[in-house]
């Protein structure tokens, strides 16, 4: 594991040998490895170690604190799940808040919905946005849309001051460590609930229920305290480079339902400009296996 800028620089010096690998350890006993074509950049930002590598199998990959955030080849899977499922279950999403997501992928997907009037991207680390603009232009181009405002500040504090402002809040965060820890707390979810308009929806990535079931269970317990278990669902998607390959997302509604309020016609139209999302994917994502149901709080509809 290359834990510093200096160690990444050493790798860059020998990468011409053609057999240099990077491993992300997803648990203490499991890792995923990539053969590196080039180390494009590695720097210590005020918040984290940011590294961009070019790999043979997945193209360019952005790492934060040596964890995979995004890759050229399969980024659309994560971003389409996070954005389109809540967006398609809201009658007219106009005002959207994205916390994290400095790579721009979630914003890009949001802007495909014609009802959107305003997107606020709250990203604590300016250098993530700068790296995305430089190395992932197909991912980040939506950040230049006139409807998008980028705020370089703490998402936790931002949500505390927002009341009844947003139709959708999307938390596109790193894992619950470092600067992202507070984005998984009961207080943050309570503040997010207050920041939503009536009928609003909070969606967020909620880790791997396969490799990190305890973390998954804790997240949904915290969400239930803020939204009520009866307004809480999990949905599942496929993210090949994230731990276990099966990833989870929450749908926390402020009197909104992911299936009863789902606009199948709009989802079908959206499927003309997406690579993965369509109405069938939306419905199937909420089919929770028994193993997952057992981890959800009592009182959630999926557990009944």
Strands of the sheet with 246-253, listed across from one edge:
148-151, 118-122, 95-100, 166-172, 196-205, 246-253, 232-238
Strand, coil or helix: 109: helix
- Catalytic one among 103, 125, 167, 172? 172
Separation CA 20–CA 114 (nearest Å): 45
Give Cα separations from 39 to 10, 20, 52, 53 (angstroms).
10, 10, 6, 5
Question: Do residues 209 and 291 touch, judged by C-beta distance below 8 A?
Answer: yes
The token pair that represents 7 in the structure block: 């160690």
Separation CA 128–CA 98 (nearest Å): 14
Q: Is 172 a catalytic residue?
A: yes
Residue positions annotated with a catalytic role: 172
């Amino acid at each position: 594991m290359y834990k510093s800028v200096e160690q990444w620089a050493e790798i860059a010096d020998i990468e011409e040998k053609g057999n240099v690998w990077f491993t992300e350890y997803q648990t203490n006993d499991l890792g995923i490895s990539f053969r590196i074509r080039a180390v494009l950049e590695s720097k210590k930002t005020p918040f984290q170690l940011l590294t961009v590598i070019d790999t043979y199998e997945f193209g360019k990959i952005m790492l934060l604190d040596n964890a995979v955030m995004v890759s050229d080849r399969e980024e659309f899977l994560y971003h389409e799940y996070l954005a389109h499922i809540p967006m398609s279950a809201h009658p007219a999403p106009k005002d959207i808040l994205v916390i994290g997501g400095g790579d721009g992928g979630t914003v890009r997907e949001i802007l495909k919905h014609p009802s959107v009037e305003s997107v606020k991207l709250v990203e604590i680390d300016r250098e993530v946005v700068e790296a995305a603009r430089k190395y992932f232009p197909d991912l980040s181009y939506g950040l230049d849309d006139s409807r998008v405002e980028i705020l370089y500040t703490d998402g936790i504090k931002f949500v505390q001051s927002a009341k009844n402002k947003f139709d959708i809040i999307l938390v596109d965060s790193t894992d619950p460590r470092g600067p992202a820890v507070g984005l998984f707390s009961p207080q943050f979810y309570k503040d997010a609930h207050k920041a939503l308009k009536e009928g609003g929806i909070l969606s967020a990535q909620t880790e791997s229920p396969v490799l990190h079931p305890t973390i998954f269970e804790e997240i949904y317990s915290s969400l239930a305290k803020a939204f009520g278990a009866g307004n809480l669902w999990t949905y599942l998607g496929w993210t090949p480079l994230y731990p276990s390959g099966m990833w989870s997302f929450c749908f926390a509604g402020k009197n909104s339902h992911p299936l009863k309020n789902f606009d199948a016609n709009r989802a079908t139209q959206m499927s003309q400009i997406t690579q993965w999302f369509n109405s069938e994917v939306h419905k199937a994502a909420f089919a929770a296996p028994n193993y997952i149901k057992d981890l959800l709080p009592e009182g959630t509809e999926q557990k009944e």
